[in-house]
């Protein structure tokens, strides 16, 4: 291999500068708050997770909720982004994992992780300040609502495209959607 990108996920690294800490375009850069505003740049999520785990040991879902709360619901990272990041932090020796009953895993920061966080303190502080700003300005629907709306739209689309819909099936679909709308209005 004459040239190399720094896309190696495996080999352990010493401390990293912002680039090495980067997410390398693995689907994170496009997470936005309202009006297309970028909440996180590439690699920020690693710092955010490391600091949250540094505050106290946490489960993966607690990390997701904590991030959602810190940005006032403007963004909710998916498990498909959070868990691979946790695995990477574990491979780097920055967090340890212990089984916590069932298939729950509890993540704790290591001394190495604490040192990496200290070294990047100005950058990490800046990310958390940006999250506070987003929290202060955000006034959109919670990501959970957006996800539920997407699910409903997808379910309707799948049902309508899965073959002919008899008149009574259509009546049942319309009734279910109207019933859901009524429940939302009364919630």
pLDDT digits (tens, 9 = 90+) for 118-151: 999 999 999 999 998 888 887 666 667 777 887 8
81, 155: one domain: no
From the number of C-beta atoms within 10 Å of its C-beta (0-12, 13-18, 19+), residue 112 rates as: middle
Asked if the structure places residue 49 within a domain, the reply is yes
Give this prediction's pTM.
0.57
Q: What is the pLDDT of residues 148-159, one digit of tens each?
A: 887 888 888 888
Q: Do 103 and 153 fall into the same domain?
A: no
Question: Helix or strand or coil: residue 170?
Answer: helix
> Which pLDDT score, from 0 to 100, does residue 26 have?
31
Same domain membership, residue 132 and residue 148: no
32 band by pLDDT with thresholds 50, 70 and 90 = very low
> 167 and 84 in one domain?
no
Q: What is the mean pLDDT of residues 7-34?
A: 39
**101 or 91, which is more confident:** 91
In terms of residue numbers, what domain contains 96?
A: 34-140
Q: Are residues 155 and 135 in the same domain?
A: no
- What is the structure's pLDDT at 75? 84
- CA quadruple 80, 85, 88, 89: dihedral sign: negative
Q: Which of 21-25, 57-61, 125-129 has the lowest mean pLDDT?
A: 21-25
CA distances from residue 61 to 77, 107, 147, 151 in whole angstroms, order as listed: 10, 11, 16, 20
What is the number of domains present in the chain? 2
Q: Is residue 97 part of a domain?
A: yes
| Residue 42 and residue 130 share a domain | yes
Is 159 part of a structural domain of the chain? yes
pLDDT at 121: 95
């Amino acid at each position: 291999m004459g040239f190399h990108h720094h896309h190696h996920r495996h080999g352990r690294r010493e401390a990293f500068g912002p680039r090495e800490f980067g997410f390398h375009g693995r689907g994170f850069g496009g997470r936005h708050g309202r009006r297309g505003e970028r909440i996180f740049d590439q690699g920020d999520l690693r710092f955010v997770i490391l600091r949250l785990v540094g505050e106290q040991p946490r489960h993966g879902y607690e990390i997701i909720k904590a991030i959602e709360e810190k940005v006032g619901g403007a963004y909710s990272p998916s498990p498909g982004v959070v868990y691979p990041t946790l695995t990477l932090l574990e491979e780097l020796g920055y967090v340890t994992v212990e089984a916590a009953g069932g298939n729950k895993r509890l993540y704790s920061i290591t001394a190495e992780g604490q040192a990496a966080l200290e070294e990047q303190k100005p950058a990490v502080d800046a990310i958390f300040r940006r999250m506070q700003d987003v929290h202060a300005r955000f006034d959109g629907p919670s990501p959970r609502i957006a996800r539920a709306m997407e699910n409903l739209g997808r379910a309707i689309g799948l049902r309508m495209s899965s073959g002919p819909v008899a008149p009574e099936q259509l009546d049942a679909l319309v009734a279910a959607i109207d019933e859901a709308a009524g429940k939302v209005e009364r919630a």
